[in-house]
Each structure stands twice: as C-alpha cells, then as structure tokens.
Chain A
Amino acid sequence: MLTIERTLEAADTLAPQAVRRKKRNPRPAWEEPPTVGGEAVKGLTLGVVLLVMVVPLWIIVVTSLSTQGAVNRAGGLVLWPDGVTFEAYRVMLEDTTVRTALLVSLGITAIGTLVSMAVSVMCAYGLSRSRSFAHRFLLTLLIVTMFVNGGLIPTFLVVTGLGGYGQWWSLILPSAISVFNILILRSFYSSTSADLIEAARIDGAGDWRILWSIVLPTSRAVTAVMALFYGVGYWNSFFNVMLYMPTDSEKWPLQYVLYTYVNRGNGMPGSVNSGFGTAFSQTAPLSLQMAVVVLTLVPLLIVYPFVQKHFRTGVLTGAIKG
C-alpha cells in the first residue's frame, strides 16, 4: 500500500508546523511596566501554590527513605534527609500482599487501558464519518447515558447477576468506556482531513485500514492523552474493588491495600498474617507506610511527563469546546 505511506507524508506536511517554542511572550508596548509590589505578590502567591503541592510529596518521599533513627529523631514525618536507606522499600517488596497488589494493579491497568482504548477508538471512528448509517441514532444512544443512568445499586445487581462478583472482568468492563472520552476522540477524528481519507478509499483501503493507517497516526496526541485518562482511572480505582471483591484480599490492587490502611489506621493490609505484622517491628513503620504511598505514585510520575506536554497542544481545550 505504497500510496498510503505517501498520503501519510502528505498529512505531515498538511499538519500545521509546530510553532517554535518561545521562551517568553514579549510584554506588549501598551502595557504598564510592572510594579515591584505587584510582582512580589504574584510571585509569592504562585510560590505558595507550588509549595502546597510539592511539600507534602517531598515529605512523604523523604520519610519513606529514612532510617528508623531519623524517624525517631524527627518524632514522625521527616522533613529533611537524615540517614537515607532503602530498607522500607526492600521490606515492602518482600511482602507478598504488596507484591501481589502491585502485580494486580499493573495487570488491571494494562489490560483495562487496552480494552478501553480499543473499544473507544473504534467507536469514535465509527461515529466520525458524517452521514454514515445510523450514526445519529448511535450517537444519541451514547449521549443519553451521560445524563441518565441506573445508578449504583441497579448496576451492582446487573454485574453480580451476570456472575461478576469476585471476577476480574467486573473491575474492567462495567466502567470500561467513558462516553465523554469517546466524544473527544470523535471530534478529533472528524477533523482528520477528508481528502486524505478519500484518497485512501480510492486506493481501495477499507475503514479498518483507514483507521489504523491514517486516522490513528495523525492523532497521536489525543490518543496518548485518552490512554492516560483511562490508565489513571484503572490505576486509581478502588470503589469497584470494594463492591465486587471486598473479601478476596489476594485480588486487591494497590489502591485498595492503601485504602484499608487509611481506613483502619495502622492495620496495614487487612489480613492479620500478611507479613506486615513482623515487618512493622523490624523497620520504621512510618517509612514503610510512606513507601506504599510512593509506590502508588511512581507509575503515574513515570508516565505523566510524556503525556503532559500534549495537554498544552490544545487537546483538552479543543475537546471541551467541541
């Protein structure tokens, strides 16, 4: 399919050239020069905002890396590194509850995101060609669910009625798609150059081929952002665990393990003989707790910088307006 590669190149040249990142907006000539007081207040406010966001994370990371001695000296959370050790992480990763939970979380996030993205991308493209068969009806079917839903209990009864209690799929399928995300994808796919698609069609490409070889490659940014949204949703989900598998502690994802610990004070992972009982007496309990918190943060912090730059490219703002 040589022509498709050619049309893709054409798409690249058609796409607006990336504007060279400016360092600074020039201050417009008509604007008053900044006052010292004004700038100070502005800088101070933004500084406080940043500190409120960053300091708690800093304290948690530092505490998780602290020795028992450092925690004792600080009398609790550690503000400044004072004897760094990875002991808490070693103990944490040796604990089977946390290890299992980590695997469960990663698995659900990976499979769930894949399912959600496949279903959403197909649906969004299926609805994006104007005047296609029944697209108005199907679109209405989707949008209605944004305003009307059965609510918690009827949904619970349906999922359990289908035998979902304690099953992995009950953590993925009931909330696998977000209509809002589909609509965002659809608005992007609708704006994919119609000429490009027609050219491919004349070359004999079907809709599947067009979706895979033209539409998806030309909308990488929005795809990445949507995958992040879905992925974060799965990674963070804990209520559906509470609903559908509250008792199988070996199926709990990380967030639920963290939840049981938040909710029950120190009683780390629900079950008594989880290994944490002994772990607590050996190492700083606080640093161990903080290590679990950090563990739930790490995957997000790894992915976030790669996707975050696309927020700025108007992915979201365009979507919200469209």
Chain B
Amino acid sequence: MTTATPTRPDRGTRPARQSWRVRLRRDRSLVLMTLPAVVLLLVFNYVPLFGLVTAFQEYDPLAGIWYSTWAGLDQFQRLFGDANFWNAVQNTLYLSFVQLVLFFPVPIALALLLNSVLSLRIRNFIQSVVYLPHFFSWVLAITIFQQMLGGAGALNHFLRNNDVGTWDVMTNPDTFALLVSAQVIWKEAGWGIIVFLAALAAINTDLYEAAAADGAGRWRRLWHITLPGLRGVIVLMLVLRLGNALTVGFEQFLIQRNAVGYDTADVLDTFSFYYGIATGDYSYGAAAGLFKSVISLLLIWGANKLAHAFGEDGLYRR
C-alpha cells in the first residue's frame, strides 16, 4: 500500500496520523487483546444475522441452511394469518403498557424517599436490601412468589384459616398482568433506583437553599428543582422502555406460561421459542423473531426522535 515511514514509532507520544502499518505494529498487542471478544461476537452475534435467511426458507435441519428450500415471504404470510401470533403481539403490548404504568414510577418514588433519609447508615442498609432481588434468578423469584401467593402458599393458607375462601393469584389469567408487574417491581424496582439516586446527588444543593430562602416549601422544591433535575434521566429511561416495548421479560413468562395458559402469558419471545424450537418449526419462529427485531429497531429510533423533540439526549446524541 502506501510507503510506511521507516522510522521506529515513538511509543510515548501518539501522533494523530501514521501509516496503518506502523500503527498496527505499534498497537499489535492491543488489537490482539480484543481478538477473543471479536471472535465470540462474530460467531455468536454476526453469523446468526446471516442465519436470519431461515425466516425466508422452509428450514430443514437435515438439509441445513444452504440446501433448505426457499419460501420467500410464505412464513410471514402464515404468521400474519395466525391468531396465536396476534394474541402474542397483543399480550406483549398490553403487558408492556401495564408494566410501564405500574413499574416505571416506583423506582423514582423510592429514590426520592430514600434520598430524604438523612442517616447514611439506614440509607445504606435499605439500599443493600432492595438491590438484592435483582440478583435472584427468575426461577427463584417465581418460586418465592409461588410459595407466598400460590394455591398452597402463605397467603392462601392464611385466607383459608380465616374462612375467606381462596384466591390463587398464580394461575388466574385475569390478574396475570398485575401479578407479573408485581414480580417485576419486587425484583427490579430496588435496583432501578441507582440511576435516579445518582441524578439526585448531582443536583446542586444551592438551588434548594435559594428556593427555601425565597419561601418555597418542600413540595414546591420537589416540583421545581428535584423533578426538573431528574428530567434527563427519566426521559432516558422512558426512551429505553419504549424502545424495548416488545421485550417484556422472557424467562418470567416462559416459566409461568403453563400455569396461566398461553392465551394470556404468550409474548412474542415465548411465541418464537415455542413455535420455533419446541415444535421444530424453525423458519416460522425465526420469522416471528425477525418481525420483532425490525419493529424494535423502529421503536428505538422513534423513541430517540421523541427524546430529541423534548430537547433531551436520549440514547444517542443528535
């Protein structure tokens, strides 16, 4: 290619532009270090992107991806005519919405509450406790819910002892949206406060003092200083949530799908799993997955546009 500069590169200072060969020689260990990660990503993230052609095939595991028959848009046609698919779409959007309404404000409220606790020891203790469930697996979290609220659980035991009948929350399709929201709140709300606590700590306390001097009470300070201070983070979190509207948690639904029934608990991800892998209809599942990915990308893009319209950075700056 271009003629390399013959002088040995000075490793101390790094001038802006040198020939690529010189820079490669200088940084070869750095490049080498990234290699394992790059290989893993290529194999398990980029190669599967090409695997998406299975969505346009009648994939046959014996023939493999190269020799399976081409199906064009047949899988998608089938998908859009499948009542179970639309049921999954509807469930996903509904559960996503319910979770947004019920879950989203909780970490903010909890962070505000915790921030007002003056004793650092108590604050740290509460933080350690509420962060913990985030590290539980969904299997464990749902087992705990099962034991507390299930048909043979603590709650129903109590109800039965007091002759108030039973109320099996874990298998009731009507209250399923509330149940999964409660589970998400129990498991993730505590962890969710981290970002908001950081944003709260970044608010300049002089503002509060000045406002108090001007006669603003607690609630006015909350409204005029604290909430505007949190605005950026809240918008960012909303953008992330909207961009992930089609992802409502996979394992959580996979585990509970049998107890509640697929017509209530099937979301797009579990649909893709059950039709794609459990029944061996790979192309069909891949088509459902591709549908979800494309819509999700559009959602992320749209949510960012929205954030920019509000004058916030969103996920990326523009």
- A interface residue numbers (CB < 8 A to B): 21-28, 30-32, 42, 45-46, 49-50, 52-54, 56-57, 59-60, 75-77, 79, 118-120, 122-123, 125-127, 129-135, 138, 141-142, 145, 147-159, 161-162, 173-177, 179, 182, 198, 201-202, 206-208, 211, 228, 232, 235-239, 242-243, 255-256, 258-259, 261-263, 290, 293, 296-297, 300, 304-305, 308, 311-312, 314, 316-317, 320-321
Contacts and interface: CB of A to CB of B under 8 A. Distances in A.
A238 B137 contact: yes
B88 interface: no
Nearest to B273: A152
Contacts of A290: 147
A256 B138 CA distance: 11
Contacts of A262: 139, 142-143, 146, 255
B101 interface: no
A309 to B, nearest CB: 9
Nearest to A242: B254
B27 interface: yes
Contacts of B64: 161
A119 B195 contact: no
A60 B12 contact: no
Contacts of A22: 120
Interface string B135-149: 111111011101110
Interface string B179-222: 00000001000100011011000000100110011000110000
A229 B26 CA distance: 33
B255 A119 contact: no
Contacts of B100: none
20 contacts: A22-B120, A76-B157, A122-B36, A126-B33, A129-B30, A131-B14, A132-B27, A134-B31, A135-B30, A138-B34, A141-B38, A145-B41, A149-B45, A149-B49, A151-B272, A153-B51, A153-B286, A258-B143, A293-B140, A296-B137
A60 B144 contact: yes
* A30, A150, A153, A232: most-surrounded residue (chain B CB, <10 A): A153
Given A132-B30, A238-B137, A49 B126 contact: yes
Q: Chain A: interface secondary structure?
A: helix
A201 B113 CA distance: 49
B223 interface: no
Contacts of A133: 20, 23-24, 26-28, 30-31
B258 interface: yes
Q: Chain B: interface secondary structure?
A: helix
Contacts of B227: none
Contacts of B34: 122-123, 126-127, 138
B8 interface: no
Given A53-B190, A156-B277, A177-B40, A27 B118 contact: yes
Interface in B28-48: 28-34, 36-38, 40-41, 43-48
A157 to B, nearest CB: 5
Given A52-B186, A126-B31, A155 B41 contact: no
Nearest to B189: A49
Contact of B133 (A28, A53, A79, A132): A53
Given A153-B54, A243-B277, 16 more contacts: A23-B119, A25-B118, A46-B126, A75-B161, A76-B154, A119-B37, A122-B33, A125-B30, A147-B300, A153-B286, A156-B277, A255-B139, A259-B139, A262-B143, A304-B135, A305-B128
Contacts of B49: 148-150, 154
Contacts of A261: 143
A263 B40 contact: no
Interface string B265-277: 0000100110011
B130 interface: yes
Contacts of A77: 147, 153-154, 157
Interface in B134-174: 135-140, 142-144, 146-148, 152-154, 157, 161
Nearest to B156: A76
A125 to B, nearest CB: 6
A48 to B, nearest CB: 11
A157 B68 CA distance: 13
Nearest to A207: B29
Contact of B140 (A30, A76, A297): A297
Contacts of B130: 49-50, 53
B204 to A, nearest CB: 13
A132 B23 contact: yes
A53 B12 contact: no
A300 B29 CA distance: 36
Contact of B297 (A42, A54, A147, A255): A147
Contacts of B114: 46
A32 B218 contact: yes
A25 B161 CA distance: 47
B29 A317 contact: no
B152 A76 contact: yes
Contacts of B5: none
B129 interface: yes
B220 to A, nearest CB: 12
Given A158-B48, A207-B29, A207-B33, A50 B118 contact: no
A154 B45 contact: no
B317 interface: no
Given A30-B208, A259-B139, A25 B120 contact: yes
A42 B112 CA distance: 11
Interface string B48-72: 1111101000010000110000000
Nearest to A50: B129
B118 A24 contact: yes
Contacts of B250: 239
B290 interface: yes
B270 to A, nearest CB: 10
Contact of A317 (B30, B146, B197, B276): B197
